[in-house]
Structure 1
């Protein structure tokens, strides 16, 4: 927060002069240079929101190693034999138990809908939504993106508000955990020894764990019965489950878990069995570990847990039953859910469009990028798995007669590497990148050819061809012009790629576990040498991964990061000089890029940090072109897959930002002095006259140096600037305020304070073209200058602006001032108001406003226009980083 609020003031450098009057607390500096953990520290760099995924990845790795060790001697023939011994009536009963489990899951949605006050949804719609969302979540994982999207799509048709839908998703997750944890804990009371093969703990400790979990649930029920609890996230509040909802969740969890466990238990082979209760405990724990892992379907973790906890069941029998369970409980319901959702969408859209073909198109086009990304990712996984497993021998016999060995070897290697690259390209497709589309079509076409040449794998070739055809059909949906490998993929996507590659490598080593490793294997080339081909392909994948990661880390897109050229800035000077806004001169700092209006009479200045494309203030343009520039900027950012932000916008154009889909967060208030009322005469000017006289008695004098005379005093000005930076222990900031640059400083008239003929303070002057606005930007002073020199500087500037006929003098912003601290205000407002009142150890918020108040200004609010939702913290971090780094970017460009 300190780093954010310290960067809010467009004229932080000039406002910090108030420190001569009301100094900030020791050890704190504007811009976040004190207080909270430094951004460069290891603690500040850790993104703790990803801890769950990291733990899940570690669980997946551990489970993979355990499975590999446990199944090392197992052959597919043994598993196939175990599957053949499972009777059809067992499979039918398992399907019945699966149906009962999914039916029980409806209870979670019913509880959540009732809790958020959405009773208008019919039971049939609840059942449909619950089944489809749960099937998607169980199979694909990432419930917020899969099951949550399904709930959002369907429930909004029944009049639920966004907050209610979010509440339903959160409550179903919360009640699921309450239910399954309570079931597992209750079972431990009766069979505390059931988990001994997993946790290796004595039954007494497992019994205590069960008692502790149930006691925690009971305590929550008592607390919630005494006083209902509410969770608050920004402007969104969600009532937490009370005793009735908690009890209902436990009952639903009991029925759901028992039915799901029965679906697997019923297809286990006859033999030694510890009983259904013991199996139920293990099943519940395996399910919890699978959900924690974030791996779709808990693959690997679920199986490893059951194999460890049921050592009395032959491994071949357990593996066969687990494979069949995956089909019965996951694959079949997922296929049915896909069909049901497709029919639902077709019916919904057919009524709106009128014809079936148009309905399909209207349904598919918005979903095309995401569907294409998932399909390409799956295609990459298929290629990786194919490269790790042996080819069909009868196909190799045919291939031997048709294709020379070098083509087979090369195609196998290329197909595996192509599969890995497709995993990365899929991320770009979801973000609608045009170059990702081109690369995907090329790679899929090549992969189809490689699949045929490496082993006559017609199935893979067909999959690749169909996905490529789908991409070609929806070419227009991929329009964003951004470099795929200059955009860092999300952490979740990186984890998914690691899991996919890790699983394929594990599978390759597993199927070749009976072959002893030898160095000569790397150099064996033959039609039936599958293991050497797998080893070489794995090395190629690792090299490709390292190369792509290095490129992503080092490469930068010029359009996104580099500031405009001096020639581009020079072309804007007529627009800046004709602008009524004084802050239009920020365009000449050299740290921004520009987007011209359609009529060429105005522009938006912006820079990029991370995924945030930050426009500085309102567009600099005539009134009739501002709306168009806001939309043009948003379209530009959308083409590059970024997040559009307008920083420090005024109240004059708030409807424009709201119409463009932005949310608003107040940043603070700006002080404007009415020069018609400003005077040093009479009682109103008494304090200012005293401050002016005090400074003049110490030998200080005020003067204006025209821009033509600035080169002659540039050395003195630089010495003052360097002394100010050294004394404050600060680094230059930019973007929303000026920084020292000789080219920038010599452009403007300079207000200076002299003592004994030497400059001790200065400020460069900005003027609006219509005589309405007068202000200063870069302001520096000597730490040992005369007392009251900053008061003299401001008084002289105000008098000068008034004498030149200007209407207003802009004193700059007081960060976080004027934010409401009412309990019903937004979270951002309440946090900002708290920091404003209690954050003096970090930044002199109240003192800064008090200093400006003595000039009796009119306070005008300024806002941040951003996309809304949970993006605000990351955007504020990006803005802070941009303000801190833009001088370095601009000066390096200038020096080059």
Structure 2
């Protein structure tokens, strides 16, 4: 594969997500430009009580349908669990994944923690995760084909530029995929797709899976549809098409809860049918019902489950699902990103009548308006740094959150809004010990790679501040100036360039320095052996920490690089080596895994999104684990598992084939 294709394969989804997010921000900012908070409140107050109750009922029904996903998944894996357990795993997995979005707190991580505590093996859990992941896609394709057949004009741009028969023909490949899945389940039980072996369910279960997914998508769309006012031409099926397109865009952008992308797509799709305030009012209630309330309930249930597990010390767990111990950092990072998105949206609202305008005049109000979008943009970058456990990102996040609280207060926003920023700042401050990595800025303060972006950040920050407080911007966010035809070309260019340089510079400062692994030669082998690490005769390379006082050897395998044991050497540098290996694998587009590791660094392996599967040791020996992305790499690394676990998996597969 050429370097360009390899780069595109690794970074294509992320670039596509950024493009979607930028487009969504532009759409939302354009719609918000002429709105006021009062108009949105009026639209929300006009929602009838009957619609609110019906939407709440459909929300409960939607999560009950999702519980059937997990029930069928456990049956498919050959280890059926009870309905209460299916509901707990489904509710916690989906609600946390819907809101937090990052891979470390995905539905797979939550399910591994729960199902491992209930005695399922990692292979069985991987089957449940794969089954539930596939189910939504089947429903989306089935309903999407239905929309294309009966409401083809709902497709943006194509609906008005292509004949109906051409759009209706697009339903054939969607239905063809679903039909192929069902038919294959009748005649072939094992298929290989994208290098992965997939066990298909029996035909009856495949049909149930497709039907259930279709019902789930329709019910979820109905929650939103009920909250919208009556609009001529907006049938439920047409709205389902808009909802599916928006939801798919939100997933593709990899943004927590599809925030901004889903909202922008919905605003764009419903623009011909009703005013923006009515859409936004319904959108806020939909998010409250389907995202926010379930998040708090599932978080409480999950914490209760964890407390119960830790009290029951005698319970034997087949696989260590350490994801729960690391939920706090990805959750906080997601909340920081959501806070940034909220400030960006505030930066798109008018400043008329705010406290700061009354106290300090219109120019100061415009400056606060401009500052909201700048601070919000920087908070999105800080979430990136928090996920990498960078100390500097922790400090910047605290500073920016306090700024966000002040901006909300001087703009006259409700007390609970700016109070939420203060509460989040308190939560971030309480997790200081969780952020233990040095960034490029701290590790290499005098290197050109650190000085150049640092200088750019300082210069851009000063430039944007001068533009804002000089009162030379219209009532819009900083990126809105770039698209404003009223602003002078020189100002548009200056603001656009400095804004982009500011964000790019911050990202570069929050990235660890690039490095290359050492070749596995006699000298490297001697260094690893001297530290007390595993130094086999054959290996593909070695990774050392930033201080070069800890390291380990590793092997390259297709799709996964396997480190041979815990890093040997000084503990702090060992943690640095683990993260460097993770960063190295991310750049190479592969997963990281660690073989025969001890309990000392399990927390760090969980921090980088790995699950620890125990390896059988002799009595009295220190327990050892295989740390890996179990939902993706368990099959390829299965030969490293204990013989009894391999035999159990093979017997399960033979029984299914029979």
- Contact 2:152-2:168 within 8 A present in 1 as well: yes
* d(CA) in 1 for partners of 2:425, 2:331: 12
Instruction: Report what 2:435 is aligned to.
Output: 478
Instruction: Report what 1:59 is aligned to.
Output: 20
* 284 and 470 in structure 1: CA distance in 2 versus 1, 3 angstrom threshold: closer
* d(CA) in 1 for partners of 2:72, 2:475: 42
* Residue 596 of structure 2 corresponds to residue 658 of structure 1: yes
* Residue 509 of structure 2 corresponds to residue 548 of structure 1: no
Match among 569, 574, 593 for residue 632 of structure 1: 569
Q: CA deviation at 1:177?
A: 0.6
Match among 25, 32, 50 for residue 89 of structure 1: 50
- Contact 1:138-1:296 within 8 A present in 2 as well: yes
Match among 579, 602, 613 for residue 642 of structure 1: 579
* Residue 4 of structure 2 corresponds to residue 42 of structure 1: yes
* d(CA) in 2 for partners of 1:197, 1:413: 33
- Contact 1:385-1:507 within 8 A present in 2 as well: no
TM-score by length of 1: 0.51
Secondary structure of the structure 1 residue equivalent to 2:120: coil
* 277 and 637 in structure 1: CA distance in 2 versus 1, 3 angstrom threshold: same
Secondary structure of the structure 1 residue equivalent to 2:53: helix
* d(CA) in 2 for partners of 1:617, 1:67: 47
- Contact 2:381-2:503 within 8 A present in 1 as well: no
- Contact 1:395-1:456 within 8 A present in 2 as well: no
- Contact 1:176-1:253 within 8 A present in 2 as well: yes
- Contact 1:71-1:315 within 8 A present in 2 as well: no
Match among 33, 36, 61 for residue 100 of structure 1: 61
* Residue 71 of structure 2 corresponds to residue 110 of structure 1: yes
* Residue 132 of structure 2 corresponds to residue 172 of structure 1: yes
Map residues 846-857 of structure 1 onto 2, 5 A cutoff.
Answer: none
Instruction: Report what 1:621 is aligned to.
Output: none
- Contact 1:265-1:276 within 8 A present in 2 as well: yes
* d(CA) in 2 for partners of 1:286, 1:628: 44
Secondary structure of the structure 2 residue equivalent to 1:159: coil
Secondary structure of the structure 2 residue equivalent to 1:266: helix
* 394 and 129 in structure 1: CA distance in 2 versus 1, 3 angstrom threshold: same
Q: CA deviation at 1:373?
A: 3.1
Per-residue displacement from partner, 1:536-560 (whole Å, max 9, x unpaired)?
A: 987764342243356568x849xx7
- Contact 2:329-2:386 within 8 A present in 1 as well: yes
Map residues 262-341 of structure 1 onto 2, 5 A cutoff.
Answer: 262-303=222-263, 305-306=265-266, 309=269, 313-316=273-276, 317-341=278-302
* d(CA) in 2 for partners of 1:182, 1:135: 24
* d(CA) in 1 for partners of 2:47, 2:172: 38
Q: Which runs of 5+ in 1 are unaligned?
A: 1-35, 354-361, 489-504, 523-531, 564-581, 599-604, 619-626, 646-655, 663-864, 873-896
* d(CA) in 2 for partners of 1:285, 1:561: 41
Q: CA deviation at 1:51?
A: 2.6
- Contact 1:136-1:334 within 8 A present in 2 as well: yes
Instruction: Report what 2:117 is aligned to.
Output: 157
* d(CA) in 2 for partners of 1:617, 1:49: 21
Map residues 432-471 of structure 1 onto 2, 5 A cutoff.
Answer: 432-441=389-398, 462-471=419-428
Per-residue displacement from partner, 1:411-435 (whole Å, max 9, x unpaired)?
A: 8877765554444444443333444
Q: CA deviation at 1:456?
A: 9.2
Aligned-CA RMSD value: 5.2
What is the number of residues matched between the two proteins? 544
Q: Which has the higher contact order (CA 8 A, sep 6+)?
A: 1
Q: CA deviation at 1:114?
A: 1.5
Q: CA deviation at 1:594?
A: 10
Match among 470, 478, 486 for residue 517 of structure 1: 486
* d(CA) in 1 for partners of 2:398, 2:33: 39
* d(CA) in 1 for partners of 2:142, 2:547: 42
* Residue 163 of structure 2 corresponds to residue 202 of structure 1: yes
Instruction: Report what 1:689 is aligned to.
Output: none
* 49 and 107 in structure 1: CA distance in 2 versus 1, 3 angstrom threshold: farther
Instruction: Report what 1:248 is aligned to.
Output: 208
Q: CA deviation at 1:483?
A: 3.9
* d(CA) in 2 for partners of 1:104, 1:252: 7
* Residue 59 of structure 2 corresponds to residue 122 of structure 1: no
* 332 and 287 in structure 1: CA distance in 2 versus 1, 3 angstrom threshold: same
- Contact 1:53-1:293 within 8 A present in 2 as well: yes
* d(CA) in 2 for partners of 1:481, 1:438: 12
Instruction: Report what 2:387 is aligned to.
Output: 430
Instruction: Report what 1:370 is aligned to.
Output: 330
Per-residue displacement from partner, 1:102-154 (whole Å, max 9, x unpaired)?
A: 222222222222212121x2111111221222222333335673222221221
Q: CA deviation at 1:88?
A: 0.9
* d(CA) in 2 for partners of 1:416, 1:64: 11
* 595 and 380 in structure 1: CA distance in 2 versus 1, 3 angstrom threshold: farther
Q: CA deviation at 1:293?
A: 3.6
* d(CA) in 2 for partners of 1:171, 1:448: 43
- Contact 1:432-1:480 within 8 A present in 2 as well: yes
* d(CA) in 1 for partners of 2:233, 2:207: 31
Q: CA deviation at 1:437?
A: 3.9
* 199 and 71 in structure 1: CA distance in 2 versus 1, 3 angstrom threshold: farther
Q: CA deviation at 1:371?
A: 3.7
* 485 and 453 in structure 1: CA distance in 2 versus 1, 3 angstrom threshold: farther
Instruction: Report what 2:145 is aligned to.
Output: 185
Q: CA deviation at 1:247?
A: 0.9
* d(CA) in 2 for partners of 1:379, 1:397: 23
Secondary structure of the structure 2 residue equivalent to 1:160: coil
Q: CA deviation at 1:628?
A: 12
